[in-house]
Amino acid sequence: MNNDLQTTENTQEAAAEALEIDPLKMQAFKNELEGQQNLPMALVAGLASAVVGAAIWAGVTVLTKYQIGWMAIAVGVLVGLAVGKAGKGISPVFGWLGGFFAFLGCAIGNLLSVCGFIAIQESLPFLEMAANLLSQPSIAFQVMKATFNPMDVLFYALAIYEGYSFSFRQITEQELASLVVDRP
């Protein structure tokens, strides 16, 4: 048994040596990544994906006549992936942007769902109902307040977390391997 423990420790030490990151390569790589960041593209992608996510949220909610809280997580992931892919960000601002747009997508999704239900109930065209409600922010806020459920906080928080988490550029294994110290 003691021999197995020694073998495991030796394997871990070998793996740690094999993955020793060269600080100069790491700094050069970080500088390269910072130069590739694109905040305007992240903003556009975040807003567009929030709108798409909100429309999907509203469509699913109205079709099923049930608000599925997990849709918030899907909106968060969608927004985060869009911000991460378009923005190529490694700075914290990209995470905050993803979290904000994830929240925005969820809130708009809830509001559009209410518009859908009211449009059906009143036999009005959905777009007319949505335009009417969205053009009156004070009424839209009152509608959101009236339809608020405490569980919304949990799902909005999960969406924000997912939006934040997925908003960063992913480092590939090949890129990571290129940062390892060259051994003679």
- Please give the full DSSP string across 131-181, using - where no structure is assigned: HHHHT-HHHHHHHHHHH--THHHHHHHHHHHHHHHTTSPPPPHHHHHTTBP
Which sequence spans correspond to the domains of the chain?
39-177
pLDDT score, position 16: 47
Mean pLDDT of 33-37: 92
Q: Identify whether the C-beta of residue 42 lies closer than 8 Å to the C-beta of residue 86.
A: yes
pLDDT score, position 12: 47
Q: Which of 85, 89, 75, 82 is nearest to 161 (CA)?
A: 75
pLDDT score, position 138: 94
For residue range 142-183, list pLDDT tens digits in order.
Answer: 999 999 989 999 999 999 999 999 999 988 888 888 888 877
pLDDT score, position 89: 93
pLDDT score, position 159: 97
- Count CB-CB contacts under 10 A for residue 59: 15
Least confident piece of the model among 1-5, 84-88, 90-94, 110-114: 1-5
pLDDT score, position 8: 47
pLDDT score, position 9: 52
Least confident piece of the model among 2-11, 127-136, 154-163, 167-176: 2-11
Q: How far is CA 137 from CA 53, 61, 130, 142, 152, in A?
A: 21, 22, 12, 9, 20
pLDDT band at residue 29, thresholds of 50, 70 and 90? confident
- HSE at residue 102, side-chain half, CA atoms within 13 A, is 34
In sign, the C-alpha dihedral spanning 48, 54, 58, 64 is: positive
Question: According to the per-residue pLDDT averaged within each range, which of 20-24, 67-71, 137-141 is highest?
Answer: 137-141
Q: Identify whether the C-beta of residue 53 lies closer than 8 Å to the C-beta of residue 156.
A: no
pLDDT score, position 164: 97
CA angle (92, 52, 73) in 5-degree steps: 60
pLDDT band at residue 5, thresholds of 50, 70 and 90? very low
pLDDT score, position 177: 83
With b for 16 or more beta-carbon neighbours within 10 A and e for fewer, the 93-102 pattern comes to ebbebbbbbb
Q: Which of 64, 61, 161 is nearest to 111 (CA)?
A: 61
Cα distance between residue 87 and residue 74, in whole Å? 19
